[in-house]
Structure 1
């Protein structure tokens, strides 16, 4: 049975991704940093439905935590077949006029550090098995700027390019690396930083006239985790309701 590690999976989009992958037959690792009760709730929900899951505490920006988490999964289930890097590091909502380097540089550092550490930790096992799926949650903001979102949009754009380089290098090993880029998602942690009026305006600007739903993001992730996506790598997949059609 394949094993999927979802970072930042105790609530919001991550929790829905964890439940969706469990429904598709994956053993699921519910990673969290400081939300053990919520993570255990996700595990209980999965196991009650007949799935297998475990909650593991780890700060994905701390090398020792990431190494210990991956080793625990290796000991328990023999390795990680799918990494879904979803953990959201803090960021400031601000204009460029008010932006400090500490805000921008700090977000760039935490975003790339987390993606780098988790990828570095799981890839050796994937190479040894000749197969793996790396999936990274980005944001439509990495290509479509929006007022106030310069820190998140810039950091996600940097991560997107990191993923493309990873995809290029690992393709020969049967490992795919792809980006899922939702527009604003209903109930996501990031919506707490946006006013209700702003959320309504964002929804109105989307051709489908609503925000993305967590299950729509999770279903896209499930496809990229599946055998059916084996020849899809290095791609940026918007979940946007038609926003930013290219």
Structure 2
């Protein structure tokens, strides 16, 4: 049975992804840093539906934390077959005029540091088995500039290129690496960061006339985690309702 690790598994997209992968027969590990109650709720929902899941606390920017988490998974269930890196590192919404280097540089550092650490931790096991799926959460502002989203867009653009290099290097080992890039997603994060009137304007600009839902991203992630996506690697896949 395939084992999937979802970083940020207590968040909206992470939770939806965990449930979707569990429905498709994966054993699911939900990583969290602060949202223990939410992670436990997701585990409970999966187990109640007949799936297998566990939650593990770890800071994905701390190599020792991540190594301990991967070792615990290895000891309890075996090697990780699928990594879904959904953990959201904090960022500010700001114009360049009001932006400090600490805000931009801090987001760049945490974004890439987390992706680097978790990838380093899971790739050796995947290489030893000659198979693996690496899936990373990007965002449309990485390719489509949007007012106020300079920190998110710049850091995700760096992540996009990082993943393309990972995909190139790991392809001969049977490991795929892809990016999923939703437009603004309904839920707690959008509600906290984006005013309601701005959310309405974003939805109006999307051909399907709504924001993305966590399940929209989760279903795309589930395809990339499947055997059917074994020849799909190095791709940036928008989940945008038709928005270019």
Asked if TM exceeds 0.5, the reply is yes
2:199 counterpart of 1:199 = yes
Instruction: Report if the CA contact (8 A) 1:13-1:188 is conserved.
Output: no
Structure 2: distance between partners of 1:114 and 1:190: 22
Counterpart in 1 of 2:211?
A: 211
Structure 2: distance between partners of 1:187 and 1:99: 26
Instruction: Report if the CA contact (8 A) 1:92-1:103 is conserved.
Output: yes
Aligned to 2:84, what secondary structure does the other structure show?
strand
Counterpart in 2 of 1:35?
A: 35
Alpha-carbon displacement from aligned partner over 1:160-202 (angstroms, at most 9, x marks no partner): 0000000000000000000000000111524420000000000
Structure 2: distance between partners of 1:143 and 1:63: 29
Aligned to 1:97, what secondary structure does the other structure show?
helix
Q: Unaligned 5+ residue runs, structure 1?
A: none
User: C-alpha displacement at 1:207, in angstroms?
Assistant: 0.8
Aligned to 2:98, what secondary structure does the other structure show?
coil
User: C-alpha displacement at 1:34, in angstroms?
Assistant: 1.0
Alpha-carbon displacement from aligned partner over 1:221-245 (angstroms, at most 9, x marks no partner): 000000000000000000001101x
Structure 1: distance between partners of 2:36 and 2:169: 36
Aligned to 2:40, what secondary structure does the other structure show?
helix
Instruction: Report if the CA contact (8 A) 1:61-1:110 is conserved.
Output: yes
Counterpart in 2 of 1:121?
A: 121
Q: How does 1:134-145 map to 2 (within 5 A)?
A: 134-145=134-145
Structure 2: distance between partners of 1:171 and 1:157: 21
Counterpart in 2 of 1:54?
A: 54
User: C-alpha displacement at 1:11, in angstroms?
Assistant: 2.8
Counterpart in 2 of 1:107?
A: 107
User: C-alpha displacement at 1:216, in angstroms?
Assistant: 1.0
Structure 2: distance between partners of 1:228 and 1:128: 21
Structure 2: distance between partners of 1:89 and 1:242: 27
Q: TM-score, normalised by structure 1?
A: 0.98
Q: How does 1:13-92 map to 2 (within 5 A)?
A: 13-92=13-92
Structure 1: distance between partners of 2:102 and 2:214: 31
Q: How many residues align?
A: 244
Cα RMSD of the aligned pairs, angstroms, is 0.7
Structure 2: distance between partners of 1:58 and 1:34: 9
Structure 2: distance between partners of 1:87 and 1:116: 13
Counterpart in 2 of 1:94?
A: 94
Q: Unaligned 5+ residue runs, structure 2?
A: none
